[in-house]
Amino acid sequence: MEETFVMEEQIRYCKINDIIEEVHYFHSRKNYPLHTHTDHAIIGTVTEGSVSIKENNEDYTFNLGESFHIMPNVAHMLGPADENVYSMVCLCIKAVDSDEVYQSIEDYSTQLKQQLLDTPEAEFSISDMSKSISVSPFHMIRQFKAAYGLTPHQFQIQSRIRKAQKLLEQGKSVTEVAYATGFCDQSHFNHSFKKIVGLVPSEYRQSVIHKNPNGQ
């Protein structure tokens, strides 16, 4: 009788240095919802199946062997282009002085963005956020989303997850990280983390591989 093997979905992170991280996605059916990469660009190559990327209300399909790139602060969605699994390898390249691109954006959006990056764990209501930069809540949300592709709340959750990744890479426990990044309970933390990263925090903690630039 012929045996059937089901290939396991995996994500493998390999930190090359402080600027570049390599991420391998194996046999995935994961759909990543609308999000941005605040401080890094993505260069990816499809190694199995096909990948669909939606960016600026345009749909793009990349097939086996084809490459794509996503610039910092560009809101996008990514997932399988059809019912089959996909695999890909991505280089996440940290952008130096990426805020220079946005010098024309109103100061309060930049200030709020920095506030959310610096202290994503802090509890900010929309009212608190707008008061801190002296604008109406509606105007703040509209301008912030126009500038960065996400609402302030979405951006804050994403910033919390990015901070959580760094803390997990340092070997801190999942419970410590959930508390340090402002999540009220571990279940909410697990759900939010997996939605953005594709793994629950404990899986990510185990999968992270630190590799020095010489590959030793």
Q: Across all residues in the chain, what is the average pLDDT?
A: 82
Q: Are 204 and 168 in contact (CB under 8 A)?
A: yes
Residue 103 has pLDDT above 50, yes or no: no
Which of 183, 179, 129 is CA-nearest to residue 152?
A: 129
More confident position, 159 or 134: 159
Q: What is the reported pLDDT for 135?
A: 56
Q: Which domains does the chain have, with CATH numbers?
A: 10-96 (2.60.120.10), 104-208 (1.10.10.60)
What integer pLDDT is reported at residue 99 of this predicted model?
A: 45
Residue 211 has pLDDT above 70, yes or no: no
* Residue bearing the bigger pLDDT, 95 or 73: 73
Counting Cβ atoms within 10 Å, is residue 94 exposed (0-12), middle (13-18) or buried (19+)? middle
Contact 52, 79 (CB under 8 A): yes
How far are the Cα atoms of 14, 93, 100, 171 from residue 151, in angstroms, in the given order? Answer: 30, 24, 21, 31
Tell me how far apart the alpha carbons of residues 49 and 27 are, in angstroms, rounded to a whole number: 9
Q: What local confidence, expressed as pLDDT, does residue 88 receive? A: 96
pLDDT at 50: 96
**Span 128-151, pLDDT tens digits:** 666 655 556 776 787 788 888 888
Mean per-residue pLDDT for 105-121? 77
Given a cut of 90, is residue 18 above it in pLDDT? Answer: no
More confident residue, 131 or 50: 50
